[in-house]
Structure 1
Amino acid sequence: MAKVKLYGLLARLESRELPWLGKFLASPYFNANEDLVQLWGFLREVHPGYEVLDKKEVFQALFPGQAYDAKLLNARYSELTRLVEQFFVQQEFRREEPLQYPLRRSAYYRRRMYPQFSRECHRQAGLLEQQTGHIKSQAQLLAVYDALYYGRQEAASPEKGNEEAERAMKYLDRHFILSKLKYLADLFARKTMYKEDHTIRLQEAVLSEAAERKDKDPVVGMYYYLARLFLDEFSEEAYRRLWGLVQQHGKKLPRDEQAFFVAKLTGLAHLRLSYGENTYYQLLVEAFKYADCYGLLILDGQISDISFLNTCAVGAAAREFEWVREFIEKYKTYLPAASATQATLLGKAAVLFNQEDYEGTHRILQQASHWHPYYRIRMHSLLVRCLLGMHLDTPNYYRTLHNAVEAFSRFIRRNKSLSAPKREGYLNFGKAVKRIAALRSHQWRSSRERAALQEWVSRLKPLALRPWLEEQLEK
């Protein structure tokens, strides 16, 4: 069935916005068609499950007794779609006061109310200057001073005009440096994570200027150290220095820029974990707690199931069991409906597994199923590790474990979305598990064979979940 654009828009309405849309449609300033008010009244009854509606049923509710006319109904749907889009714009306009600034200035200027125009510019500048950490506010502030400098039609003195020009240049410099630093940090991060190569114009000039400003301007310092973290040979010391700055000054930043820092730091921490640097587990937990504290995990009323599962897995590996349980209870209602149950089960399984409650983990995994490769890899790999843990405790699970590894390996070979190194890493993981299990089935035989197996695992590359496997061999 073809998707209806109107239904997609209406499904994004927050519950508190439902009555507001009704008032918006009832306003003669925006809408003169009473049919649209009635149409919304009917659709609202099934919010957000609009797809279950039969259009003929909708038509009869709107035009009782008339023969079904698809063209007429589609016209009403199109009109309501346009008004819902306009409602979204109005909502953003109300919420984001800076969006109103240029319109207020232009309204005064177009009507030649120059004294009011000047006062409004200075009022807006005062408000924006308080937002010292916001990159977007720097651009808005620059626009205000630009308007003052080029729009002074009230015969201001040249000295006043020069003052506005100087202030505009000051904010232009800071906006350029902050914006360029943010792009530098992002591109350096992509170069580190994905081996991309970029030519970055004015790179050295920006870094040099930022180095002079970083101690006086904490926000410039944060972006500077983030860029240097990826540009230089990054170290745990440099990571901790930047993380300390984020904890100290991050609250001055708007939500999207805080989220930018957290995303880059957690991405780097995950990369270091993949190299076996387990001290980053606790640093990751601190970053997730920060994101939780400042509401950075919820976007458009939902938490990404990937973010949810990563947080649960890392928190459990860092043995923050109580915090992870509280996290699951707090955020499970914000998960996408299609994956909420399975993500919650996997989060709970991660806690039990890291508590070495392998039987409890196994029971939960028996209930879990999902079609997406991301989930299936997590489920398969956790099941294999769970069975190996049970086998190492009591060596009676070799056949079950062997079958689970074979099933996992077949899935990995069929999965075309995995990169070649990741595919090989998971296949090597399966080989290592089978060799460890076989040796355990024979009561480890001898310390010499165990040492030889440890040496073999240490040389096996690439190898997924290497730290956990090495830990099992050391028990």
Structure 2
Amino acid sequence: MRSTKFYQIISELNPTDLNRFEKFLQSPYFNINPINTELFKICQDLHKSAKAEYTKLDSWNLIKPKEEYDDVKFRKYLSELLKLLLKFFSIEELENRPILASQLLLELTNKKKIPKLINTAIQNSQNSSSKYINRSSDFYLYHFQIEKNLFYLSESNLEAYSKKNIEDIAENLDKFYIAEKLKYYCEILGREVLSNIQYNFNFINELLLFVEEHKFYDDLIIRIYYLIYKTLSEPIEKDNYHELKALIFKNYRFFEGVELQELFAAILTYAIGQINLGNEEFHDEMIDIYDFIFENGILISENYMTPVKFKNVLTTSLRAGNYDFAENFIKEYKDLLPASQKESIVTFSLAQIYFYKKDFLSVITQLQRVEYPDMVTNRRAKTIYLATLLELNEYDAILSWSESFRVFLNRKKKDVPEAKINTYQNFITIVRLIALAELSGDKSYLKIEKELQKYSGNIVNEQWLKEKLLERKKK
């Protein structure tokens, strides 16, 4: 049963979600088949205890004790339960978005044309709109939809209403388009840095000229995404970053969910980029941003945290030498990670902390605890393992183990951009050269330094390698 799609989905849900879905199944309006409830209880038992186990046959005997097992029927029952789960998700989301519900009510009103319903629906939409504080691009989309429906509901009073109404429809649609176009253009710029993929994005030059001409200072989300674009396209100009950071800090309550986290990710990404360029003052910027995030509970607003954000927090705090913060962060926020990745991410994060604290034997022990299914974490774990062998002067082990690392990278060339693979291959080359120099007694570190210079900007852990060479030259 644990291998079924239904169970794999609910295994990622928290107890509150599961309890609400159980109540959903108990409602005869949504569910009239008691088998669905019984099947869900079996899955709940599996969710509550790692030791519990039910095969499909076990489950069938519980829900259909007098019938012979029928795999086709059983899969049909699971499929029906999965459909109910998807409907539950949709209803839950609608409950949390009253402005969308009011928009759908207006659409229904347009279809039904019930006179007494029209005023009620209009008033409902106005109330929802006034209470809707989110200022993402959806703000303009919802108001476009509402104004569009109000236009058709007000056909009897066209002279008094239609001119302003049509202008509002057009304005909201324009602003939604501009905000979304900027948002995804920023996404493209970020991805092009990490890959060789080139994207075709129509009308972006014309749109950027339009935004630059009109500024949109009063349209928060457009201004924010325009500034994100500027930080990506003109990273040397720091004023755009500081304006963007100030806007996000001041207005973060007007955003929510994934978008809120992405806005903070934009300023964090810029700060990381500046640190990588050697601008050390941005270490303080990073700590300032994370302090603000934690003080305002921004990372836990949706009861989850993406692995990328979790890793960025750890990396930043370790670079700043704040090891206690890193350890406390893991303890406090590890349960917000996806359940399927939590163990490997936490294990790797602890290994990072031990490495920075120079507890190298603990690094080895920690990295050997689990497999790393995530490709990025797997590469980083192997890199830290190789670095740890160098710290421990295990030169023979470096020569044998680095070859298996090379083989691993070569197998992944279809899945990972070649440029990214090369940064790890170059790291292996330099570490092996150091090991060979130590084993042979020919400690020509100047030659290795020149080799490292050839890879400058195209090798992982470049600064750390420079430090290791400098240490050996001083001996």
Moved more, 45-54 or 156-165: 45-54
Structure 1 unaligned runs (5+)?
392-396
Q: 2:429 aligns with which of 412, 420, 431?
A: 431
> Tell me, what secondary structure is at the counterpart of 1:156?
helix
- The answer (yes or no) to whether the contact 1:133–1:254 under 8 Å persists in 2 is no
Q: 2:313 aligns with which of 311, 314, 335?
A: 311
Alignment partner, residue 85 of structure 2: 84
Q: Distance in 2 between matches of 1:347 and 1:473?
A: 26
Show the 5 A alignment for 1:14-413. Answer: 14-47=14-47, 52-114=53-115, 116-118=117-119, 120-121=121-122, 123-125=124-126, 127-128=128-129, 130-131=132-133, 133-153=135-155, 155-156=156-157, 158-211=159-212, 212-232=214-234, 234-269=236-271, 280-288=282-290, 292=294, 302-367=304-369, 369-370=371-372, 373-391=375-393, 397-413=394-410
Q: 1:458 aligns with which of 453, 458, 462?
A: 453
Relative to 1, partners in 2 of residues 1:453 and 1:138: Cα closer, same or farther, differing over 3 Å?
Answer: same
TM-align CA RMSD: 3.6
Aligned length: 466
Q: Distance in 1 between matches of 2:120 and 2:67?
A: 59
Relative to 1, partners in 2 of residues 1:199 and 1:78: Cα closer, same or farther, differing over 3 Å?
Answer: closer
Q: Distance in 1 between matches of 2:113 and 2:375?
A: 62
Relative to 1, partners in 2 of residues 1:315 and 1:36: Cα closer, same or farther, differing over 3 Å?
Answer: same
Structure 2 unaligned runs (5+)?
none
Q: Distance in 2 between matches of 1:72 and 1:233?
A: 59
> Tell me, what secondary structure is at the counterpart of 1:361?
helix
1:428 aligned partner, one-letter code: N
Q: Return the TM-score normalized by structure 2.
A: 0.82
1:300: Cα distance to partner? 7.8
1:350: Cα distance to partner? 1.3
Determine which structure has greater relative contact order: mean sequence separation of CA pairs < 8 Å that are 6+ residues apart, divided by chain length: 2
1:132: Cα distance to partner? 5.8
- 1:473 equivalenced with 2:469 (yes/no): yes
Relative to 1, partners in 2 of residues 1:91 and 1:454: Cα closer, same or farther, differing over 3 Å?
Answer: same
Q: Distance in 2 between matches of 1:15 and 1:49?
A: 13
Alignment partner, residue 394 of structure 1: none
Relative to 1, partners in 2 of residues 1:441 and 1:313: Cα closer, same or farther, differing over 3 Å?
Answer: farther
Relative to 1, partners in 2 of residues 1:19 and 1:458: Cα closer, same or farther, differing over 3 Å?
Answer: closer
Query: For each residue in 1:80-104, what CA deviation from the matched residue of structure 2 results, as whole angstroms up to 9, or x when unmatched?
Result: 3333333332222222222311232
